[in-house]
Amino acid sequence: MVGSASEVAAAFDTVLLATWSRRPSLGLLETRPGQHFTTLGVDEPGKQELAADLLEASFLVVDDHSLAPAAGVLAGADGSTRITADVSLGEFLRGGRSGRATRSGSTVYAPVGLPWQDLAIVWLAYRQAELNGVGSRTDLLA
């Protein structure tokens, strides 16, 4: 069992954050090369889950180029936009842009909150994992 975001990052290759945090839970020094981070809690100005140094060092995917600077991970706590996304999820999925340059590069998916898009991509990922026998089922309500 782990008790903090840094312990999760030390133990796992994929980290999902979904918090109400107004300060970063993880910075670059608390992560390892090649990890993936999804930050779901940054859906309004002032919220932060990942530090700017981690966002800047990672291949950064957002769901919408116009919403991310206004209300998402690209909006600085002071209202300024300091970080630029590498690609939108739609651009990436259409094959318009390749992903990270090396396997040791970190990736971040930082949606603002377009639930229909999240549902569609999760369903595709779930079906692909099921077809390939990847992962395991867990009943979180049991």
CATH number at residue 125: 3.40.50.720
Question: Domain total for the chain?
Answer: 1
Domain that holds residue 20: 5-132
Asked whether residue 31 is domain-assigned, the answer is yes
Integer Cα distance of 51 and 104 in angstroms: 19
Phi, psi of 16 (to 5 degrees): -110, 125
Asked whether residue 51 is domain-assigned, the answer is yes
Asked whether residue 140 is domain-assigned, the answer is no
Q: What pLDDT digit, counting tens, does each position of 101-139 carry?
A: 788 899 999 888 766 776 777 788 888 889 999 877 766
Integer Cα distance of 68 and 45 in angstroms: 10
Integer Cα distance of 105 and 88 in angstroms: 18
How far from chain centre, in Å, is Cα 21? Answer: 15
Phi, psi of 69 (to 5 degrees): -75, -25
Asked whether residue 137 is domain-assigned, the answer is no
Asked whether residue 89 is domain-assigned, the answer is yes
Q: What pLDDT digit, counting tens, does each position of 20-34 carry?
A: 888 899 999 999 999
